[in-house]
Structure 1
Amino acid sequence: MKNKINYLAIIVFYAIAILCRYLTNKAGILDGIGNEYLKSILTGIGPTLGAVAVFFIFKIKPTMSIKGNYKNLTFPILMYWVFPIILISGVAYFTKGTIPWMIVLSILIYGLLEEIGWRGFLYQQLKELPLFTNILIVATLWFLWHLNFELTSSNLLFYGILILGSWGIGKVTDATNSLIAVSAFHSLNNFFPNLDNTKILILALLLTAWIIALVSRKRMQKNIG
């Protein structure tokens, strides 16, 4: 039996997420923080605070975890966090002489903070709805949360990417139940704001490796079952 949708919890969650986003991105509340990595991470904290608040206020039990349905945390950490850090940093070292592991790590943490809210709470809370309706609502609220309301072609493209991303990350959510895994897929769009051939190749390698890992795991579970 599916759980009944708690619309009041969704409203409270989203109000907190939006308020935090406004304070961190528009009101300059983070201006006093000198560490740029920490500042960047904190701009995505709203969905996490909103989710934690409604979990506590409405006694909602989280259905996702860091480990998810993996036997232990080792594999998801190595595959979805360590692998992109090493790959992106390694390519950057050989092409530019830099090792941007802190940038990659901060992007992954930022993605985790968002996903605790979007997939860890909202997607789960809307499971009673038809899948497309769920995806459309999550993508729309996710888009509006960015507080960028200009009607430009780039924004429309971004909205389309969020719809596609909500579908894809939803698949990862259902397959792994792991916040580590979904945060990695979330971060694909943030690793490289501007693409070139090298960056496209890196993204293709990451996506291919992760999809193969998910498909292989599903087949193994099916054979065991």
Structure 2
Amino acid sequence: MKERKRFGGIIVFYAIAILLRFLAVKTSLFDFTDNQFIQILLRGIGPAIGAFVSAKLFNIPLNLSLKGKYSNVLLPLLVFWILPVILIGTVSYIQQGQFPFVLLFTVLIYGLLEEIGWRGFLQEQLKDLPKLQTVIIIAVLWFIWHLNFEFTTSNMIFLGILFLGTWGIGKVYSNNYSLLAVAGFHSLNNFFRNGLHQTELILIAVLLIIWIGFIIIYGTNSKKINPNQIDS
């Protein structure tokens, strides 16, 4: 019964995620606003809605947390949200004379909406499977959700990126259970709407080094303080 409920929950979650994605990017149903930031969020809201509806219908507990194992929500907010906004926004201001504050936070919220579904719900439902199998399932479902079905070189590269992203973001989530943290990692590529060039790649590398270093140092210090404490 438990396995049947879990399988049913995943089916409903994914059906809703796919449906809302299709309506947002393949139809004009959501064209009721000209606000580009709302339009961005509507394209990524499906996984979150699917997770909440599925959890309600099948009585599946959702242990979602913005702060995860961190002592307070301000810490991951500063490291994984405020820092990239300041860093990327400053570089954008120097190069283009504008600070895309609203756009950057919209991208982060978009990432958060997706991560509620992919990590907060789906990864939790598949956590009893072998890790490689979990990564493959999530990566393939994530790829299909983007509705890119052409077998082009760029799409195959994108599929590879999703495999790496599923593995890497999944490890971050398993390490700290912070939705703010995984939303930051998720948003790295989405921050740069005009493609990845030298400056963008340097910014991504800098953020990855800072974030991974922070996770390692915080985890080490937390174990020294209280090795038996797990806050999810």
The TM-score with structure 2 as length reference comes to 0.93
Asked whether the 8 Å contact 1:4–1:128 carries over to 2, the reply is no
Q: Can you list the C-alpha shifts for 1:110-169, whole angstroms capped at 9, x where unaligned?
A: 000000000010011000100000000000000000111000111111001001000000
Verify: 1:205 aligned to 2:206, yes or no: yes
| 8 Å Cα contact 1:63-1:124 kept in structure 2 | no
Q: How much has 1:4 moved relative to structure 2?
A: 4.7
Post-superposition offset of 1:200: 1.2
Match of 1:43, SS state, is helix
Equivalent residues in 2 for 1:1-225, closer than 5 Å: 4=3, 6-193=6-193, 194-224=195-225, 225=227
Taking the aligned partners of 2:122 and 2:43, their CA distance within structure 1 comes to 19
- Deviation for aligned residue 1:28: 1.5
1:222 is displaced (CA, Å) by 2.3
Q: Which amino acid aligns with 2:178?
A: S
In the alignment, structure 2 segments of 5+ residues that lack a partner are 228-232
2:213 counterpart letter in structure 1? I
- Tell me, yes or no, if the aligned pair for 1:20 and 1:46 is still in contact at 8 Å: yes
Letter in 1 for 2:202: L
CA distance in 2, matches of 1:94, 1:12: 46
CA distance in 2, matches of 1:123, 1:137: 10
- Distance in 2, matches of 1:30 and 1:129, equals 37
Partner Cα distance (1:205, 1:25) in 2: 32
Encode CA deviations 1:92-111: one digit per residue, 9 max, x unaligned: 11111110111111110100
Q: Percent identity?
A: 48
Amino acid at match of 2:160: G
* Deviates most, 18-27 or 59-68: 59-68
Letter in 2 for 1:124: E
Question: Residues of 1 paired with 2:74 and 2:124: CA distance?
Answer: 25
CA distance in 2, matches of 1:33, 1:176: 37
For structure 1, which runs of at least 5 residues remain unmatched after alignment? none
How far, CA to CA, are the matches of 1:167 and 1:48 in structure 2? 20
Distance 1:27 1:95 in 2: 36
| Counterpart residue identity of residue 130, structure 1 | P
Distance in 2 between residues matched to 1:39 and 1:124, nearest whole Å = 28
Structure 1 stretches of at least 4 aligned residues deviating more than 3 Å after TM superposition: none
Distance 1:103 1:155 in 2: 25
Q: Distance in 2 between matches of 1:55 and 1:87?
A: 37
Alpha-carbon distance in 2 for matches of 1:165, 1:206: 15
Q: Distance in 2 between matches of 1:22 and 1:100?
A: 28
